[in-house]
Chain A
Amino acid sequence: MNVEELLGKFKLREPSADLKARILLATRNEWKARGRSVEFRRTLWQVAIGLAASLILAFTGNGINSRLAPLEPGQTTVNVESKVSIDADIGTVSMARLKFPQAWRQPADLKDFIKVHEMVDEELRKGG
C-alpha cells in the first residue's frame, strides 16, 4: 500500500459543532470592544481639541490686550481700582460689623453664615 492510499484511509477530525458559534461570538465581542475604544478615543480627542482652542484664544486675547493698553516703560504691574456700591445704611452696617467682626468677615459655613445674617437683620430691625 502506498503512502497516499494509507493516508486516504483516514480523515481530519471535524471541528466541534459549536466552534463556529463560539468564533462568531468572540469576533462580535472584539468588534464591540474596538467600537467602544474608538468612541472613547474620539471623546478624548474632542476634549483635547477644546482645550487647545481655549489656550489659543486665551493667548491671542492676552496678546491683543497688551497691544491695546501697553505698559509704560519700567511699569511691571497694573493697578485696578474696584468700586462696590451697597444700597444700605452704612451706619447700621458698620455697627453690626463692629459687634460681630469675625462672623461678618468669614462665615465658617453656611449655618454660621445664616446665623450671622439673622443676627444682622435683627440688629438692623432694632436699629430701625
Chain B
Amino acid sequence: MTERSDKEDLIRAALVSGDAGAFDLIWDEYGRTLFGLMLSILGSHHDAEEALQEVFVRIARNKDRVAGAGNIAGYIYMIARNEGLSFRKKNRRLPVSSDPADFWLVPAKSEEKFNDEALLIADALGRLPEEQRTVIIMKVYRDMTFQEIAAALELSLNTAASRYRYGVDKLRELLSEKGMTG
C-alpha cells in the first residue's frame, strides 16, 4: 500500500507541475487494469482501446481535479467507468462482438487455438450485470485483491466480495445451461 501511495504522490506531483510524464506513470500503474475495465464494460477490444484513449484525454482535461483527489486510483477508475458506460450508450453495440479481430477473451496458453469455449464464456460474462462482471474480471484476470478492488471502485469490502459471489453464481448457472460446468 505504501508503494502504491508513493506512486500516487509521484503522479500527483507530475500532474500539478504540468509534467506530461504523469501519463506514463498513470499508464504504468493503472493502464492494464483500466484496459480490463474497458473490456469488461464494452466487450470489444477495439472499443476498449478507443474508450481508454478518451479516458486519458479526460484525465488530462481534469488534471487539477485528479491531482486533488484523495484516492487518485478511485477517481481515475470512476472517470474510466463513466466513459465506458457513455461510450457504450453512444455506440449502442452489443456487449459481445462477433468480429474475431475484436474478441477480448483469448486462451491463456499461447499454443492453444481460439475456440468456441472462449466465445461462450465471453457471452456468459456479457450477460452478467456490469458491476458483477467488472469485479470478476479484476479479480480473476487482473489478480487484484478484494481490498484493491474495493478501493479502486470506491466500494466497501463486503460489497466487492458479494458482487463477486453473486456474479460467479450467475455465471455457473449460465454455463451449466450450456453444459460447461458440472
**B4-54 at interface with A (beta carbon < 8 Å):** 18, 20, 23-24, 27, 31, 35-36, 39, 45, 48-49, 52-53
Whether A31 pairs with B168 at a CB distance below 8 angstroms is: no
Q: Annotate B121-141 by CB proximity to A: 1 below 8 A, 0 otherwise.
A: 100000000000000110011
> Are the C-beta atoms of A3 and B175 separated by less than 8 Å?
yes
Are B141 and A26 closer than 8 Å at their CB atoms?
Answer: no
Q: A31 contacts B172, CB within 8 Å?
A: no
Most buried by B among A23, A24, A31: A23
Residues of A within 8 A of B (CB): 1-4, 6-16, 19-20, 22-24, 26-28, 30-31, 34
Does B56 sit within 8 A of A, measured CB to CB? yes
Interchain CA distance A4-B20 in the complex, whole Å: 40
A31 & B20 in contact (Cβ 8 Å cutoff): yes
Q: B125 — nearest CB in chain A belongs to which residue?
A: A7
Contact indicator A27/B60 (Cβ below 8 Å): yes
Task: Give Cα A23 to B55, complex, Å.
Answer: 9
**Residue on A with the closest CB to B59?**
A27
A-B contact pairs, 7 of them (CB 8 A): A6-B121, A10-B107, A11-B108, A15-B31, A22-B53, A27-B60, A31-B20
- Chain B residues in 8 Å Cβ range of A14: 35
Given contacts A23-B53, A28-B20, contact A13 B27 (CB under 8 A): no
CB distance from A25 to the nearest CB of B (A): 9
Instruction: Report the bound CA distance from A62 to B171 in whole Å.
Output: 82
What is B's interface to A at a CB cutoff of 8 Å?
A: 18, 20, 23-24, 27, 31, 35-36, 39, 45, 48-49, 52-53, 56-57, 59-61, 63, 103-108, 117-118, 121, 136-137, 140-142, 168, 171-172, 175, 180-182
Of chain B, the residue at the smallest CB distance from A10 is B105
CA distance A63 to B39 in the complex (A): 70
* CB atoms of B180 and A6 under 8 A apart: yes
**Chain A hits for B36, CB < 8 A:** 12
Distance in Å: Cβ of A64 to nearest Cβ of chain B: 45
Q: Chain A residue with minimal CB distance to B36?
A: A12
CB distance from A127 to the nearest CB of B (A): 76
Neighbouring B residues of A13 by C-beta, 8 Å: 39, 45, 103-106
Q: Are B18 and A8 in contact (CB under 8 A)?
A: no
Whether A34 contacts B56 by the Cβ 8 Å rule is no
On whether the beta carbons of B104 and A27 are closer than 8 Å, the reply is no
Q: Are A12 and B137 in contact (CB under 8 A)?
A: yes
Chain A residues near B35 (CB-CB < 8 A): 12, 14-15, 19
Chain A residues lying within 8 Å of B168, measured Cβ to Cβ, are 3-4
Does B106 contact A15, Cβ atoms closer than 8 Å? no
Cβ A27 vs Cβ B121 within 8 A? no
B23 to A7, Cβ gap below 8 A? no
- Asked if A7 and B136 sit within 8 Å, CB to CB, the answer is yes
* Known pairs A11-B108, A15-B52; A23 contacts B181 (CB<8 A): no
